[in-house]
Amino acid sequence: MEGGPIALARDGDRIVIDAEERIVDLDVSTEELDKRRKEWKAPRLRYQKGTLEKYCTLVSDASHGCVTDGPI
CA distances 50 to 43, 56, 60, Å, are 19, 10, 18
Asked if 8 contacts 42 with a C-beta cutoff of 8 angstroms, the reply is no
pTM of the shown model:
0.58
How does pLDDT run across 34-46, given as a tens digit for each residue? 999 999 988 887 8
pLDDT greater at residue 68 or residue 12:
12
Cα 50 to chain centroid distance, Å, stands at 23
Higher pLDDT pick, 3 / 15: 15
Residue 3, pLDDT score: 62
